[in-house]
Amino acid sequence: MKVQCILCDQRSDLEDDSTLAKKLRNRPIHTYMCQSCHDRIKVKTEARLASGAFQLYSYSKQDDDF
């Protein structure tokens, strides 16, 4: 299966029997990102987390009394 990275437009080949290829075929909303882009985002996210300027917003559900 031929895929293209959504960030850098690099084209790659995946095995047809792999789980990632199956996920991309069955659910077209999922997108492919190459390993170099994935690693680059991971490093930058970890650096932001370490700096303390990064916040994850979590929304709590309010229970109704009804």
What does R_g of the chain's alpha carbons equal in angstroms? 18
pLDDT for position 66: 63
pTM of full prediction above 0.75: no
Q: Considering only CA atoms, which of 37, 33, 41, 24 is closest in space to residue 5?
A: 33
Do residues 3 and 11 lie in contact, with contact meaning Cβ atoms separated by under 8 Å? yes
pLDDT for position 40: 93
**Which residues of the chain form beta strands (DSSP E)?**
2-4, 11-13
Return all residues near 24 (Cβ < 8 A) that are at least 6 apart. Answer: 1, 3, 14, 30, 32
What residue ranges of the chain have pLDDT lower than 70? 64-66
Q: How far apart are CA 22 and CA 41, in angstroms?
A: 24
